[in-house]
Amino acid sequence: MSDDGIKIVTQNRKARHDYTILDSFEAGLALQGTEVKSLRAGNANLKDCYARIENGEVFLYNFHVSAYEKAGRFNHDPLRVKKLLLHRKEIRKLTGKIQEKGLTLVALKVYFKGGKAKVELAVGRGKKLHDRRDDVAERDAKRAIARAMRKKG
């Protein structure tokens, strides 16, 4: 747990590799009891997770929250579609951004803040293969420069 009361449950590192992140929002998660217990245990996966706006509400798809071991028959469906809690003004802002060509809503991380489950949602544009290669080349160049500076100094 960090000093500002945020406990990160899971992150989607691949999202920053596959998408150019333009803007990000914090949204609450509407969860069932067993989902919260499973999240607190760290049993979640954001791989291939995305959000969609339907009828003025935002929903999270492909967010896998593993079944809680001690729940028995009262357990939840691991891939249940989860509703995100946002203000109407934020949803309208997201809707306007998403209608641009090639933009999508991607979940970056899930965390607990003040005891409440939150998700960091980002508006992103999918990267092409050459964009990813450019990013890797740039990162390698920065590492080489840093290595050379350490040897020199």
Distant-in-sequence, close-in-space partners of 40: CB < 8 Å, separation ≥ 6:
9, 112
CB-CB neighbours of 122 under 10 Å = 21
Nearest to 44, CA basis, from 54, 53, 31: 31
User: According to CATH, what is the number of the domain 6-127?
Assistant: 2.40.280.10
Residues 139, 82: contact at Cβ < 8 Å? no
- The answer to whether the predicted template modeling score (pTM) of the entire model surpasses 0.85 is no
pLDDT in tens, 14-39: 888 888 888 888 999 988 888 888 88
The confidence score (pLDDT) of residue 150 equals 86
The confidence score (pLDDT) of residue 26 equals 92
The stretch 129-142 carries a mean pLDDT of 82
* Mean of the per-residue pLDDT values of the chain: 84
Residues 11, 119: contact at Cβ < 8 Å? no
**DSSP class of 100:** S
Decide if pLDDT at 134 tops 90.
no
The confidence score (pLDDT) of residue 35 equals 82
pLDDT in tens, 70-84: 766 767 667 788 899
Give the Cα separation of 49 and 51 in Å (integer): 7
